[in-house]
A = this chain, B = another copy of it.
Amino acid sequence: MHTENLDAIVESIAQNYRTSPEIFFTDPDRHFPNKKNVEGILKSLRRVMFPSYFGDEAPTGAKPEYFIGEMLLRIEDSLRRELREAFLFRAGKGDEMNQIAPIAYEDVDARVEEVCTAFMNRLPEVHRILLTDVQAAFDGDPAAQSKEDIIFSYPGFFAVFVYRIAHELYVQGVPVIPRIMSEYAHSGTGVDINPGAQIDEYFFIDHATGVVIGETTTIGKHVKVYQGVTLGALSTRAGQQLAGVKRHPTIEDNVTIYSNASVLGGETVVGAGSVIAGSAFVTESVPANSRVSVSGQKICVRAPKKSAASWEL
């Protein structure tokens, strides 16, 4: 490249750095959670909760307490470091946010300890709920050859596992980390569950790819959703003005939602025991035990097309 051109391009981009502070932090003491470490916390939690499947070395039978205890201490240590980065990143930036209260620099250490303790204390209960999710998958999928299959390789279960961890941090008001977790699951499974969603036990996502569950969604017990299902919000261009408002639907107990259906809106309630057909687009509430189907499909039989080069339809 000719140097004059190079210098001009460099200067343009450097100019963008100066005018867009969100892309270039000049603060020498910058803080941000480390993505690899956050993913490492998830992997370690998975090893503690499902020890015979993940990680090169499973615990031996002799005394699993040593394994669990050591893993938990490491998880806590790593979590503490990343929480500190996350709260310091957000410290003093409260005003542009309306969901999460600003935090003062001097309160960061106390917040970190508080969140750490609460999180660790919740782990046994999260573990218990995840075992109900395994049971729901086993009951809901005739193709599952064993519970081992589900734990080891079902992407829907992995996405729910990550959600349940991320949710515990979301309810404690932790910035950035829950999002990193949910996008980690999203990129591996195609399932995008916002950590803010509230999902009760025995939840099963079959085939997984393309499922979206929004931040203010509420889901009851024994709910089953298929690939491509959206539990979302209506669109807005109003940015953060609607943050905090309930924008996503409520799904009651024992509902089944088939592939590629969308249920949208904060006031939409799908009553208990209902079944939503595939590709349905639901923006209003339906009563309990409803069966929402799509009528209006038209079948016409025609002669085979002559020319292969034409469009098919």
A297:B281 contact, CB within 8 angstroms: yes
Q: Is A175 an interface residue (CB 8 A)?
A: yes
Q: A5-B117, A282-B297, A311-B235 are in contact. Are A175 and B57 (CB under 8 A)?
A: no
- A12-46 residues with Cβ-Cβ distance < 8 A to B are 12-14, 16-17, 20, 22-28, 30, 32
Q: A70-B67, A142-B247 are in contact. Are A60 and B28 (CB under 8 A)?
A: yes
CB contact between A189 and one of B145, B187, B230, B275 (< 8 Å): that residue: B187
Q: How many copies does the complex hold?
A: 6
A295:B296 contact, CB within 8 angstroms: yes
Q: Is A290 an interface residue (CB 8 A)?
A: yes
A258:B277 contact, CB within 8 angstroms: no
Q: Is A262 an interface residue (CB 8 A)?
A: yes
Q: Which residues of B contact A309 (CB under 8 A)?
A: 236-238, 241-242
B298:A279 contact, CB within 8 angstroms: no
Q: Is A103 an interface residue (CB 8 A)?
A: no
Give the CA-CA distance A256 to B264 in the complex, in Å: 15
B179:A9 contact, CB within 8 angstroms: no
Q: Is A232 an interface residue (CB 8 A)?
A: yes
Annotate A247-266 by CB proximity to B: 1 below 8 A, 0 otherwise. 10000000010111110110
Nearest residue (CB) in B for A214 is B143
Q: Which residues of B contact A279 (CB under 8 A)?
A: 260-262, 279-281
Q: Which residues of B contact A186 (CB under 8 A)?
A: 155, 208-209
Q: Which residues of B contact A24 (CB under 8 A)?
A: 51-52, 59, 64
Q: A62-B73, A145-B99, A179-B153 are in contact. Are A301 and B281 (CB under 8 A)?
A: no
Q: Is A102 an interface residue (CB 8 A)?
A: no
Q: Is A218 an interface residue (CB 8 A)?
A: no
Total chain A interface residues with beta-carbon distance under 8 A: 167
Q: A241-B142, A296-B296 are in contact. Are A190 and B210 (CB under 8 A)?
A: yes
Q: Is A91 an interface residue (CB 8 A)?
A: no
Q: Which residues of B contact A295 (CB under 8 A)?
A: 296-298
Q: A72-B10, A153-B180, A242-B142 are in contact. Are A237 and B308 (CB under 8 A)?
A: yes
- Some 19 contacts from A to B, beta carbons below 8 A apart, are A6-B72, A10-B68, A13-B123, A23-B151, A32-B52, A32-B53, A66-B69, A141-B239, A142-B239, A187-B188, A227-B230, A230-B260, A236-B311, A237-B312, A238-B310, A264-B278, A264-B313, A275-B313, A282-B297
Lowest 5 A-B CB distances belong to which pairs? A296-B296, A66-B69, A12-B124, A238-B309, A234-B311
Q: With A9-B123, A14-B68, A192-B227 given, can you name 19 additional A-B contacts, CB distance below 8 Å?
A: A5-B117, A6-B73, A9-B120, A10-B72, A12-B127, A32-B52, A66-B73, A67-B73, A139-B237, A190-B190, A212-B259, A236-B311, A260-B279, A262-B279, A264-B278, A279-B281, A290-B302, A291-B299, A291-B300
